[in-house]
Structure 1
């Protein structure tokens, strides 16, 4: 399996795992939803989980990989406010939890770059 194909499938797996986690354990994600968003946090949790699952499926299929990977890069930028909200809300928690919340912030950069890299690599079936 070519390296670019493996990278694509790893990104799809990461997104699929995150998407499933939104449905399996939604409470932890509800707490990260910015209060400025309208509606209930659970709705946003489920919606973002569904988007992650759709992005995973799109990246797994070579024909839709480029578009889905670009959408994933935009998604990673779009969820950044939730990570900022989490870091703010968790600033008084024990050190390991606070470190995890703060560590998510710079993690968005490599995720965006990874998704863009997947979009640039042409997989089988792409033209």
Structure 2
């Protein structure tokens, strides 16, 4: 089985880890840097996947709804996130107040491969989308 290695934050012209096909700085990079807020639930979910892939706990905490934000958030440096597949969405558009995104995120750890399948719930407060919670193995 090939070794799965994640690179550090992509350079200015590098592809976004979320797999959108867009350049990182024009995709999730602007959300992780705080230059912009994700306008839809799916874009926030993609940026949160990218934050997991890059080990950016600050972005994860800042986009987590305060009612469900855990006291501790420990990212495992031995987990390499290497692919995201958006399965479906329900609401979550720029004028919605709530939304759901179902996704599969693929990872490697300790020479083994795994998959996280989740249906995440999001809520928009003001202009910002926030992650509320999710059902794993949706």
Q: Please, what TM-score do these two structures have when normalized by structure 1? A: 0.29
Give the structure, 1 or 2, with the largest relative contact order (CA under 8 Å, sep 6 or more). Answer: 1
**More helix by percentage:** 1
Flag the structure with larger Rg: 1
Q: Please, what TM-score do these two structures have when normalized by structure 2? A: 0.27
